[in-house]
Every structure is written in C-alpha cells, then in structure tokens.
Amino acid sequence: MPRPIWSGAISFGLVTIPIKVVNATEDHSISFRQVHLADMGRVRYRKVCELDGKQLTDDEIIKGYEISRDRLVPVTDDELAQMPLPTARAIEIVAFVPAQSIDPVRIGDSYYLEAAADVAAKPYKLLRQALERSAKVAVAKFALRGRERLGLLRVKGDALVLHSMHWPDEIRSPAELAPPTVEIDESEIDGAIALMEAMGQDDLAAYHDEYREALEQVIAAKAEGKQPPSAEAAPEPAGQVVDLMAALNESVQKAREARGDGEHATVHDMPKPKKKLATKTTAKTAKKATAKKTTSKKVAAKKATPSRGKPRAS
C-alpha cells in the first residue's frame, strides 16, 4: 500500500473518524526524458528570474497572483496554510444523496480512506454499514493540494472511497452538442439492445493497455540494437452506414463469434422489423371489403325474389 498523502478526519455530524488518505489508483504509463538529438544529452529546465537572469532554488520561489500585467501579489505557503478554512484538516460530510443521482461527469480522482487508529475502527465501520444499508453516498467538502474540493464518499468492499468531484459551475452544458431530431424505429432500438447483450461482459479484468505493451517492445528492441517491430496495416475506415438494421445484424454476428457463442448462446436473436400496423390495416380493409361484398349480394337477391303478398299481373 502506498504512503498516505493526507491525514485528517471525517466529520460526520458530531462523530469524528481519524483517517489517512491513500491514492486508490496508480499510473503505469511509460515516461520519457527530453534529450538533445545530436549527442543524447539530457535537456533540463532551469528556473530563471526574468529580471536579473539569476537561476533560483525552490527556497527562493513563492506564489504570486497576477492582478494586472505589471502587478503581482505575493502569497506564501504559510499564508495559505493559515487560511480560516474549516475543511483544512477534515473531510466534512454535508449531505447524503442517492448514488444514482450523481452525474459520473463530475467524478475525478479516487482515494482510499484508511482508519488512522484503533479508536477510528468503530465509527469508520458504522459509517460504512450505514451507507451500504441506505444505498446512499455522502457528499463532502475537503481541502487538498492548495484548494477546497467537493467530494463523494462511497463503499468499496470493506473500505471507504473518496472521489474528488467538480463543482457544479465547472460542468459544461452538452445541450449544443445534441444531434438534430431524427426518427428511430422500434426494431432498430431492439437491434441495438441485442447488440449490447451480445457484447455484454461481467468482468473487465481481461482488458489491458496494448499501447504500453507495444511501446515496451519498441524500447526493448532499441535497447538491444534491433529494429523495432513494424505496425500492422490499419484497417480501412468504414463508410457511411446506409442500412442501420443490416449493420446491427452484422455487428451482433461478429460479437457472438468473438465471444465464441455457439448453439447455447444466451443472447437474443435480432428482432425482425415490426409490421403490426400494416397487418392491422390490411385486416381492417379486408373485413370492410368482405362486408361490402356480402351486403351487395343480399341486395341483389332481394331484388330477384318476387313478393309473396301481391298477385302477379296477367
């Protein structure tokens, strides 16, 4: 388990839970150094004052806020640490909301919360079980890395997880990105659902970073003085979809083949285009035609049959 990046407490009403914050994720990306192409010398960045040209150490540098082009207001780390912020050393829970009410777009980095001492075990477990039983998540405010943040507390296994969240005014509206209004047939929706079922997956553990693996192969080959493996030819981009149902049918078939589904496949068959409306209309038309034909025969028969109440004229 990595080292804690922050220590404080969860403020839960009048309950205080001492905790340590630990990164819940790790980055496996491959990083590079910048080098001089001619001689492979390292390229380094130096912090130089633009007024006197002097190279500075970190101890000589503080933060400054630019009020105007020619005026900066200095702000020291001590001044930031002494700000009257109630969330400076606490994760203050401000509300409990249904889990499904949180927009995933707002969720950022994730952190595990570790009980900091034996005294924290009982209130930690209490909060965890209360969240589980209520099917809710906690919305909290906390300060981390020089700014106050909005957070989300939820349960993962036997631990509590803290997700940083964007403030409401930081979320852009997607309204202008919506496509123009189009008509979608019910059979097309059913076809898309069938494709979703064919592509269903319960466990994502099989997925991995293929780009990083390919990059490792390139680096290994270069280190051994060999030629890096060449990339395979990229597939031709698909053209514009004209027949949506045909594309869905083909996609479902390919998804089944990729999963190895045979005769015991659990996915549904692709729906056929619905023709209920047309069938009903045809039936009604035929019924009306039959009724009209029957009425015409009755009228003709009545005209042809002589009346029994009057004698025929001689």
pLDDT at position 234 over 70 = no
First to last CA, the chain: 122
By mean pLDDT, which of 29-43, 118-132, 145-159, 220-234 is the weakest? 220-234
Looking at residue 64, its pLDDT comes to 92
What 215-223 contacts at long range (C-beta under 8 Å, 24+ apart), as own/partner pairs, is 215/30, 216/30, 219/30
Place of tokens 């909005």: 150
Mean pLDDT of 257-271: 57
CA atoms within 13 A on the CB side of 303: 6
pLDDT digits (tens, 9 = 90+) for 22-53: 999 888 888 999 999 999 999 998 999 989 99
Highest mean pLDDT among 97-106, 187-196, 292-301: 97-106
Contact 17, 115 (CB under 8 A): yes
pLDDT tens by residue, 183-205: 888 988 888 888 888 888 887 78
pTM of the model: 0.64
8 Å CB contact between 265 and 197: no
**In the chain, what percentage of residues exceed pLDDT 90?**
35
Across the range 279-294, mean pLDDT stands at 51
Decide if 188 contacts 244 (C-beta within 8 A).
Answer: yes
Mean per-residue pLDDT over the chain, rounded: 80
**pLDDT tens string 210-226:** 888 888 888 888 888 88
> Would you place residue 260 in the very low, low, confident or very high pLDDT band (cuts 50, 70, 90)?
confident
Mean pLDDT of 98-123: 92
pLDDT on residue 215: 85
Mean pLDDT value of segment 252-259:
80
Q: Which of 275, 306, 268 is nearest to 191 (CA)?
A: 268
Cα-to-chain-centroid distance, residue 284: 48
pLDDT tier for residue 54 given thresholds of 50, 70 and 90: very high
pLDDT of residue 263: 44
State the average pLDDT over residues 221-247: 74
What tens digit of pLDDT does each residue of 79-91 get? Answer: 877 776 665 678 9
